Amino acid sequence: MRNKLLDSGQKWPLTLVSASLGIGVIIALMAFANMADRSAVEREQALFQNGFSGLLDEHARRPTAVALWDEAVRNLDVSFDPEWTESNIGEYLSGVLDLDLAVVLDRTDAPIYAKLQDDPGALSKVGSALAAAAPLVENVRAAERRRGPIADHMSAMDGQPPKVIYSTSISQTDLGPLALTATLVQPDFGLALPQTSRSAVLVSGEIIDQDFLTVLADRYLLREATLSAPTEARLPGHAALFLRDSSGRAVALVQWRPQRPGAEMLRLSMPLVFIALTALIILAMRYQGKGRQATERLVASEARVTHLAYHDALTGLPNRLLLVERLRSALDAVRADQQGFAVLSIDLDRFSEINDSFGQQASDDLILKVCRLFAEACGPSDTLARLGKDEFGILQTNATRESADALAMRLIQLANEPLEIAAGRVFSGCTVGVTLIEDANLDGLECLRRADLALNRAKTAGRAQYAWFVPDMDANLRQRLEMREDLRAALANGDLSVAYQPQVHHGGELYGVEALVRWNHSVRGQVPPALFVPVAEESDLIDSLGMFVLRRAFEDSKQLGNLRVAVNISAAQFRLSEFLPNLAALVSETGVDVERIELEITEGLLLGDDRSTLQTLADLRALGFRIALDDFGTGYSSLSYLQRYPIDKIKIDRSFISNLGADPSADAVVNAIVRLARALRLDVIAEGVETEIQRIRLAAAGCDDIQGYLFGKPMSAQAIRHLLNTSSPFTEALGQKAKHRVVV
């Protein structure tokens, strides 16, 4: 009996230790859950703040349709027409745009018309709103003075509509929180001009109420969002964010129930934890030795769970959560000793191509190889983290702009080298965004966001390079998003067109054209393809844009006699799984003669000996298309590509042509390319030919096919048909006259 009591007494300490350990695990899980919930709230707050700013700017631009209008100048400034104002200003802003406030100020800033929530006689009720809008009106007046007289401005703009002048903010008024915008009334075509140097101003506003908030909450998936006065008490379990006016004063309080992934994880895991803890205590009471082993296993399991929570499973590197924590520590160090740090956001350039071509194991091998290279480039106190499947982040401590520059260049140099993995040699490359943090008032997520914005800028500039964060990137991002939606609307409404640039034999014979997409925006005017094509490639619009150009080129080719029509194929569209089936269907639908269609691709598509790319090119040849390699000599030109891939033609890039006759190396490169093409029995054409000297140099090199302003700018299909009806339209352009003639 005594022995049993002794045995029992020996087991109780282990039981208490086991219970304490279980409680520790629970506390650790709760701390992790709380940290995850806090990070989720911070992300939602940042998302809501950016979304609110975007929605505010979106509302601010809506009155532009009536403020930038000759008729508005005629009826609000030249002479005031109340009936016209009510019909075209008041009813449009309230009925069509669903705004709550519309006020017209004359050139002395005195209100001459007001409409408040469908009440057209509201001049006496908008005093507080006008007082709140006074700084916005002054901003507009200051911009008006900088612009100068509108007649001179429009003359300098060469017939283009003037830039919209507006100022927007939120303010507290007697009507409640109000999103106010002051917009200068200006002519769009100059058919009516203001009588003085000051024009009328349109003040519009929307009450920030629950309906306004519901639109924003639905857009960003915020649950149970409410709007209240800034002095009201906080709701339990809700995230909160103050809406502030331009002076920083709180105008309203927005609260919502945030996502709580940590709490959900805790809810799901706690029953399992309690079951495991109970079983552990029972086993500890029965078997001291086994209890000790179970405790040790539990400790090891906790360490593994903690490690996995903060580290990437494949590479063992810190993950995003741990990087954000270390960024917070680095920010604390900035507050203490004013020593800045750099954040680098890195994206592998051709990861998806390698993954699609060689499989998951090859992409994992590539990630491990790149991680080792990046780790060698980092300093001993730096943090290298894996943020996504092909995304990395680096915290460089005690950084300067020079040290961050050096690290970014080193990363790009390492990634651009050919990498040997089990599947063979691959070319990856990387693009880097860099930001230097010296402001301790930021948070970790904002540091990462700035690096990501810089990364997007570097990608837009052409990849395999790095870019620094600058404050205007936020505005540029909004502009790209606006351009994406405008392009989506242009594709839906048929606002794009296709122009054709002549391709001419050396003797002056027109033998082909290149199809080039054009976009004449109603506000921006002519938008260069170099701006909107990358936007399409980064979104889901590239297939629609590419198929639009192909369809138009196919249809027009049937009216262009025997001319060969060249069409550029974006690498992003080429890699889509539906590209080949859609193209085959379009050929069948239009009945185009595919032997007269030439598809132009870039050298980047041929990197890495991609079997999928080779098969797609072979399928295109089987359909009857000719394949041309565009911008030859500017990328990763390789003789093996020309031998291995089914290429019919190479196109010498304009960067070599522009220096002909001025730089001997340019002549040498062009001669080498022409000889290479002839040796491989490939056609060759030079683009960007603008002078007679360039034409003569190309003729001497043996390049007989030419494209450029020397013979014609891009023109409509109708203009090309007119040239076909002209006897030898380009023969006279040769010689001295070619320096002056440009066909429009």
- Greater confidence (458 vs 726) lies with 458
Phi-psi region for residue 414, left (φ > 0), alpha (ψ -120 to 50) or beta? alpha
Region of poorest pLDDT, from 81-90, 98-107, 606-615: 606-615
598: part of which helix (H) or strand (E)?
strand 597-602
Query: What mean pLDDT is predicted for residues 118-139?
Result: 86
Residue range 252-298, pLDDT digits in tens? 888 888 877 767 677 777 777 778 777 766 776 666 655 555 556 66
Mean pLDDT of the chain: 83
Residue range 693-731, pLDDT digits in tens? 899 889 888 998 999 998 889 999 999 998 888 766 665
pLDDT value, residue 419: 87
Please report the domains of the chain, with CATH numbers, ordered by start residue: 2-59+260-310 (no CATH), 62-207 (3.30.450), 215-257 (no CATH), 320-470 (3.30.70.270), 496-739 (3.20.20.450)
State the residue for tokens 């990856």: 428
Q: Which residues contact 105 (CB under 8 A, 6 or more apart)?
A: 111, 112, 137, 200, 201, 202, 203
Query: What mean pLDDT is predicted for residues 362-369?
Result: 90
Kindly tell me if the per-residue pLDDT of 30 is higher than 50. yes
- Greater confidence (475 vs 4) lies with 475
Distance CA 511, CA 504 (A): 6
273-298 burial, b for 16+ CB within 10 Å, e for fewer?
A: eeebbeebbebbeeebeebeebbeeb
CB 521 within 8 A of CB 527: yes
Kindly tell me if the per-residue pLDDT of 744 is higher than 50. no
Query: What mean pLDDT is predicted for residues 614-632?
Result: 88
Residue range 220-259, pLDDT digits in tens? 777 878 887 777 878 887 888 788 887 788 888 888 888 7
* Amino acid, single-letter form, for residue 456: N
DSSP-based three-state secondary structure for 403 = helix
Query: What mean pLDDT is predicted for residues 20-25?
Result: 74
Distance CA 11, CA 16 (A): 9
